[in-house]
A and B are shown apart, each in its own frame.
Chain A
Amino acid sequence: MSNWIDICPLDDLQADSGVCALVEDKQVAIFYLPKEQAVYAVSNYDPFGKVHVLSRGLLGDIKGEPMIASPLYKQHYSLLTGQCFEDEAVSIEVYAVRIENNRVEVSLEG
């Protein structure tokens, strides 16, 4: 059973953009698409730039698959699988996230 950790009120998320949450000792990037009522959580760590910045990237999709573009060197990562579109060998962690009673909750157990 997932261990859901309360993060913040839904209002604190940024529509069609990202924020960063501290979940235990992990930096988690959370993205929110209000039109689809969708929310995604991935690691905030950029494996190419080696810094914690992915929550500050631009959001969108590649052939329908929701993705985030690194603000540093513009690699794209699937928000569903964490796979890097440019480099098969690279992926980022993906976390479970949900909206419950207008609160955002994350589970690090995936």
Chain B
Amino acid sequence: MSTKQTLVVIGNGMVGHNFLESFVASDIRDNYEIVTFCEEQRAAYDRVHLTEFFSGKTAEDLSMVSDGFFETNNIKLHLNDKAVEIDTMNKLVVSEKGVAISYDKLVLATGSYAFVPPVTGHDRKNCFVYRTIEDLEAMMEAAKTSKVGAVIGGGLLGLEAAKALQNLNLKTHVVQFSPRLMAAQLDDGGAKMLADKIEALGVSVLTSKNTTSIVDGDECLHKMNFADGSTLETDMILYSAGIRPRDEIARKSEIKVGARGGIVIDDQCKTSAKDVYAIGECAAWNGQTFGLVAPGYSMARTVVADLAGKEASFTGADMSTKLKLNGVDVASIGDPHATAEGSLVYTYQNGADEIYKRIVVSADKKKLLGAVLVGDASGYGTLLQYCLNDIDLPENPDSLILPSRSDESVGLGPDALPASAQICSCFDVTKGQICDAVESGCHTMGELKDCTKAATGCGGCSALLKSVLDCELEKSGFEVNTDMCEHFAFTRQDLYNLVMINKIKTFDDLLSQHGQGRGCDICRQAVGSILASYWNDYILSDDHLSQQDTNDTFLANMQKDGTYSVVPRMTGGEVTPEGLIAIGQIAKKYNLYTKVTGGQRVDLFGARMDQLPLIWQELIDAGFESGHAYGKSLRTVKSCVGSTWCRFGVDDSVGLAVELEHRYKGLRAPHKIKFAVSGCTRECAEAQSKDIGIIATEGGWNLYVCGNGGMKPRHGDLFATDLDKETLIKYIDRVLVFYARTADRLQRTSVWMENMEGGLDYLKSVVIDDKLGLCNDLEEQMQHVVDTYQCEWKTTIADESKVKRFRHFINSDKTDENILFVEERGQIRPANEEERQHMAVTEEA
């Protein structure tokens, strides 16, 4: 008989799911059977980033549920079934489909709904709210037959929605009831600057417009009538006029709700009904509801703690926000409206650069109460810390928003923050926790994110996190030694720059001019890679040979028994029957173990060093070239079969894969590089797990960067959408050369991205906006590599002195008799220790 209690969670949105995650990670997890209801047809997904659905992200991408989460944690999920009634007397929940569950504890996480102004015609065709993936799908469908779109509501979400409409190629209007945009967060000056900037981007902004009715239009589907007599014609309408708590189930079940809506909760998130909690946007604490996820997560943590009998309370939340709207930085901190008595306001307005900053400080000028930033939100992190941690302001508070005319930094050093300062609000990580993690050995951004989860939510705190990390490392006396090795007191990036600027062409020159000693396996390999990626000379020339790892030296992959494997290039995974037969014959002749790789080509194992030139002579005669499987270089461009054959294919993925593989083959980089191209969003080529991933869409190619499979999988970041081939190639050129120049040695693109200050946005600013003025240079360098490509095996075989190098013995034609194979499943494999002894005995006998 089960002695477990039953915990029911109504709602599987972001907060409901976050609660489940926190709960199953807690030590009371085993005391409960867990049941959850989700009225949508999909379990929890990331509503904050819903707009990205338009830029190519799929419902799966947005999902917040890790694989097998419900199954592994034994949570009964009632999908597509809405809980409709709670019997608080008998502690019973009943669903729309008639499921009835007795609960011991109940958590309401029903969220909110979009407010639709009750005007005549509000429910006409092609009028939508912006809340679920289904809403977005309906909008996309409607956009196909629309030319003009209007968003009612000029708040955060409304402006995001406007961006989405603009991306759907609609002439877009934002219709705001109040006199200014983002009325809750901005003051008049900030809102005016924001409106100007948004209009400059092609979105028209109408303020003080009270919609009175929606009727048939003359040129468009609808005509919106406003109270001031003006009108607006539009084909589509999006309501984004605020949210209301979903409290109907509480009302029906006689659980107390607030005067302005929302299920009333106390500091432990308990409702008026026994053993019933409410969290997230449906809850009203102190008469206040919270439309952000961070307070919801904070409530979820409070409930988990309370259930576990630990002391915890929810004490309100900071509603500060920072975001980028159509490329415009906007931030609001604390109370931007100066409502506190005696508060003082400082404003900086720069019309030329379209920057607006305003801070609100206490009457004694000691504390920061609020701030508004438009056009430049770089000071957000510092200002937020002043505000949240009650840190004393500098003597002249306006120095915080005035442009600095000297080198003097006005930023708040991470050292000035108390240990209790919250660095990451998404996961409630304090500076103290980060310091502990650094002390226990997390010395990179990647490790720190893994360990503390900081900066893995919205990512807004990553710059601050980095500065705390650097500061702690320095303070703890941990010498942040970024030297390559004892022979070069430089980072890989420094060495790359030295090679570029001084046009250094050999390891010996670099060592004699900038290093010391004889070098070692670390720096030789790294410098060899740098020289190869910049100059692209033949890597086995006398100047370069001594820097190559054994795989590069013998242009094959060394295996555990000292033999090598051979991989001819098969661009895009394409191979003719004749080619396949030739490979088969060669494998048979040299008795090689044959296996198909994950990169869609054939790997031939068990070749002795002395056999490599012979095998390659035959492969080259059959029309093959080096596959560079041995190099820290481009490996393969995997592809699905694409529109040529596939019923669902949108574009020719194989054709593009072949073209890209030919373009980038031989490119040497800090580590290996893998590509994939998928012909449609079904993504059969698994492009999102590659360093460079490309997916065909109706509008062109979507580019993903810095993904990885392997030991630590990383989903590629969507970098740009609907690109034509020419732009796509330019972006890839730039990303790859920038990677080759700036990554650490043996750093894959995924880790490079994780450690990049500014992350994806920074990489975009360099590659798309040309922030560093480097793009031409990057493209030229790539073109040089493309133009100087050579098949290293062809070059090697043509040079007798190079072929000589492949003999096992310099003074004998004998081969290494210690290499022994046995047969398994019809092919060779290296003999193991026991088998070797047996073979030796047999031979002697």
Listed in ascending order, the chain A residues whose CB lies under 8 Å from chain B are 7-8, 12-17, 19-22, 27, 30, 33, 35, 49-53, 56-64, 66-67, 69, 71-72, 74, 76
Residues from chain B with Cβ under 8 Å of A13 in the complex: 810
Our pick among A7, A14, A21, A64 for the contact of B517 (Cβ within 8 Å) is: A64
Say whether, besides A53-B558, A63-B486, A69 and B808 are in contact (CB < 8 Å). Answer: no
Q: Is A33 within 8 A of B486, CB to CB? A: no
Q: Is B810 within 8 A of A19, CB to CB? A: yes
Q: List 23 A-B contacts (CB under 8 A).
A: A14-B805, A15-B545, A20-B810, A21-B810, A21-B811, A22-B811, A27-B816, A30-B810, A51-B561, A51-B818, A52-B562, A52-B816, A53-B558, A58-B521, A58-B548, A59-B519, A59-B524, A60-B487, A60-B518, A60-B519, A60-B523, A72-B558, A72-B560
Residues from chain B with Cβ under 8 Å of A20 in the complex: 808-810
Measured in the bound complex, the distance between the Cα atoms of B548 and A72 in whole Å is 14
Q: Is A71 within 8 A of B809, CB to CB? A: no
Residues from chain B with Cβ under 8 Å of A50 in the complex: 833
Q: Is B486 within 8 A of A17, CB to CB? A: no
Q: Is A17 within 8 A of B546, CB to CB? A: yes
Residues from chain B with Cβ under 8 Å of A19 in the complex: 805, 810
* Consensus secondary structure, chain A interface: strand
Measured in the bound complex, the distance between the Cα atoms of B520 and A63 in whole Å is 10
Residues from chain B with Cβ under 8 Å of A51 in the complex: 560-562, 818-819
Measured in the bound complex, the distance between the Cα atoms of B528 and A58 in whole Å is 12
Q: Is A69 within 8 A of B520, CB to CB? A: yes
Our pick among B486, B518, B546 for the contact of A66 (Cβ within 8 Å) is: B518
Task: Specify the chain A residue showing the minimal Cβ separation from B804.
Answer: A12
Residues from chain A with Cβ under 8 Å of B545 in the complex: 14-17
Residues from chain B with Cβ under 8 Å of A22 in the complex: 809, 811-812, 814
Is residue B390 contacting chain A, with contact meaning CB distance below 8 A? no
Residues from chain A with Cβ under 8 Å of B550 in the complex: 53, 56-57, 71
Q: Is A59 within 8 A of B562, CB to CB? A: no
Residue from the set B524, B561, B810 with the largest chain A CB neighbour count within 10 Å? B810
Minimum C-beta distance from A34 to chain B (A): 10
Minimum C-beta distance from B397 to chain A (A): 54
Count contacts between A and B, CB distance < 8 Å: 98
Residues from chain B with Cβ under 8 Å of A52 in the complex: 562, 816, 818
* Consensus secondary structure, chain B interface: loop
Our pick among A8, A14, A60 for the contact of B520 (Cβ within 8 Å) is: A60
Within 8 A of A (CB), among B478-536: 486-487, 508, 517-521, 523-525
Q: Is B546 within 8 A of A56, CB to CB? A: no
Our pick among A27, A33, A64, A69 for the contact of B521 (Cβ within 8 Å) is: A69
Q: Is B520 within 8 A of A61, CB to CB? A: yes
Residues from chain A with Cβ under 8 Å of B520 in the complex: 58, 60-62, 67, 69, 76
Residues from chain A with Cβ under 8 Å of B508 in the complex: 35
Minimum C-beta distance from A69 to chain B (A): 4
Q: Is A21 within 8 A of B809, CB to CB? A: yes
Minimum C-beta distance from A56 to chain B (A): 4
Task: Specify the chain B residue showing the minimal Cβ separation from A59.
Answer: B546
Our pick among B524, B542, B810 for the contact of A60 (Cβ within 8 Å) is: B524
Say whether, besides A22-B811, A71-B550, A61 and B517 are in contact (CB < 8 Å). Answer: yes
Measured in the bound complex, the distance between the Cα atoms of B541 and A15 in whole Å is 11
Minimum C-beta distance from A51 to chain B (A): 4
Measured in the bound complex, the distance between the Cα atoms of B524 and A69 in whole Å is 11
Task: Specify the chain A residue showing the minimal Cβ separation from B487.
Answer: A60
Residues from chain A with Cβ under 8 Å of B210 in the complex: none
Minimum C-beta distance from A47 to chain B (A): 13
Measured in the bound complex, the distance between the Cα atoms of B386 and A90 in whole Å is 58
Task: Specify the chain B residue showing the minimal Cβ separation from A45.
Answer: B818
Say whether, besides A51-B818, A52-B816, A59 and B518 are in contact (CB < 8 Å). Answer: yes
Residues from chain B with Cβ under 8 Å of A14 in the complex: 545-546, 805
Our pick among A12, A33, A57 for the contact of B518 (Cβ within 8 Å) is: A33
Minimum C-beta distance from A7 to chain B (A): 5
Q: Is B518 within 8 A of A8, CB to CB? A: no
Our pick among A53, A64, A71 for the contact of B549 (Cβ within 8 Å) is: A71
Listed in ascending order, the chain B residues whose CB lies under 8 Å from chain A are 486-487, 508, 517-521, 523-525, 542, 545-550, 553-554, 558, 560-562, 609, 804-805, 808-812, 814, 816, 818-819, 833
Measured in the bound complex, the distance between the Cα atoms of B811 and A71 in whole Å is 22
Our pick among B518, B548, B812 for the contact of A61 (Cβ within 8 Å) is: B518
Measured in the bound complex, the distance between the Cα atoms of B486 and A76 in whole Å is 15
Residues from chain B with Cβ under 8 Å of A49 in the complex: 560, 562
Measured in the bound complex, the distance between the Cα atoms of B546 and A15 in whole Å is 7
Measured in the bound complex, the distance between the Cα atoms of B520 and A16 in whole Å is 11
Measured in the bound complex, the distance between the Cα atoms of B346 and A105 in whole Å is 84
Residues from chain B with Cβ under 8 Å of A60 in the complex: 487, 517-521, 523-524
Minimum C-beta distance from B428 to chain A (A): 41
Q: Is B810 within 8 A of A12, CB to CB? A: yes
Minimum C-beta distance from A41 to chain B (A): 12
Measured in the bound complex, the distance between the Cα atoms of B548 and A74 in whole Å is 14
**Known interface pairs A14-B546, A15-B542; 7 further A-B residue pairs with C-beta atoms within 8 A, sorted by A's residue number:** A8-B810, A8-B811, A50-B833, A51-B819, A56-B609, A60-B518, A71-B549
Q: Is A58 within 8 A of B524, CB to CB? A: yes
Minimum C-beta distance from A89 to chain B (A): 20
Minimum C-beta distance from B551 to chain A (A): 8
Say whether, besides A51-B818, A58-B524, A60-B524, A16 and B546 are in contact (CB < 8 Å). Answer: yes
Task: Specify the chain A residue showing the minimal Cβ separation from B558.
Answer: A71
The 6 nearest A-B residue pairs measured at CB? A60-B520, A16-B546, A71-B550, A69-B521, A51-B562, A58-B521
Measured in the bound complex, the distance between the Cα atoms of B508 and A60 in whole Å is 12
Q: Is B810 within 8 A of A7, CB to CB? A: yes
Residues from chain B with Cβ under 8 Å of A16 in the complex: 545-546
Measured in the bound complex, the distance between the Cα atoms of B562 and A20 in whole Å is 13
Residues from chain B with Cβ under 8 Å of A58 in the complex: 520-521, 524-525, 546-549
Measured in the bound complex, the distance between the Cα atoms of B801 and A15 in whole Å is 13
Measured in the bound complex, the distance between the Cα atoms of B818 and A82 in whole Å is 22
Residues from chain B with Cβ under 8 Å of A72 in the complex: 558, 560, 562
Measured in the bound complex, the distance between the Cα atoms of B677 and A15 in whole Å is 43
Minimum C-beta distance from A3 to chain B (A): 16
Residues from chain B with Cβ under 8 Å of A62 in the complex: 486, 520
Minimum C-beta distance from A105 to chain B (A): 11
Say whether, besides A17-B545, A69-B520, A56 and B809 are in contact (CB < 8 Å). Answer: no
Measured in the bound complex, the distance between the Cα atoms of B818 and A30 in whole Å is 19
Measured in the bound complex, the distance between the Cα atoms of B521 and A100 in whole Å is 29
Residues from chain A with Cβ under 8 Å of B818 in the complex: 51-52
Measured in the bound complex, the distance between the Cα atoms of B819 and A52 in whole Å is 9
Task: Specify the chain A residue showing the minimal Cβ separation from B561.
Answer: A51
Q: Is A74 within 8 A of B521, CB to CB? A: yes
Task: Specify the chain B residue showing the minimal Cβ separation from A12.
Answer: B810
Measured in the bound complex, the distance between the Cα atoms of B509 and A35 in whole Å is 13
Task: Specify the chain A residue showing the minimal Cβ separation from B546.
Answer: A16
Residues from chain B with Cβ under 8 Å of A8 in the complex: 810-811
Minimum C-beta distance from B260 to chain A (A): 66
Minimum C-beta distance from A15 to chain B (A): 7
Task: Specify the chain B residue showing the minimal Cβ separation from A23.
Answer: B811
Minimum C-beta distance from A58 to chain B (A): 4
Residues from chain A with Cβ under 8 Å of B487 in the complex: 60
Task: Specify the chain A residue showing the minimal Cβ separation from B524.
Answer: A58
Measured in the bound complex, the distance between the Cα atoms of B557 and A72 in whole Å is 11
Measured in the bound complex, the distance between the Cα atoms of B561 and A6 in whole Å is 29
Residue from the set B487, B542, B553, B809 with the largest chain A CB neighbour count within 10 Å? B809
Q: Is B517 within 8 A of A56, CB to CB? A: no
Residues from chain A with Cβ under 8 Å of B561 in the complex: 51
Residues from chain A with Cβ under 8 Å of B814 in the complex: 22
Measured in the bound complex, the distance between the Cα atoms of B517 and A61 in whole Å is 7
Task: Specify the chain A residue showing the minimal Cβ separation from B525.
Answer: A58
Task: Specify the chain B residue showing the minimal Cβ separation from A38.
Answer: B518
Minimum C-beta distance from A94 to chain B (A): 18
Residue from the set A49, A51, A67 with the largest chain B CB neighbour count within 10 Å? A51
Task: Specify the chain B residue showing the minimal Cβ separation from A17.
Answer: B546
Measured in the bound complex, the distance between the Cα atoms of B562 and A50 in whole Å is 9
Measured in the bound complex, the distance between the Cα atoms of B550 and A7 in whole Å is 23
Measured in the bound complex, the distance between the Cα atoms of B553 and A69 in whole Å is 14
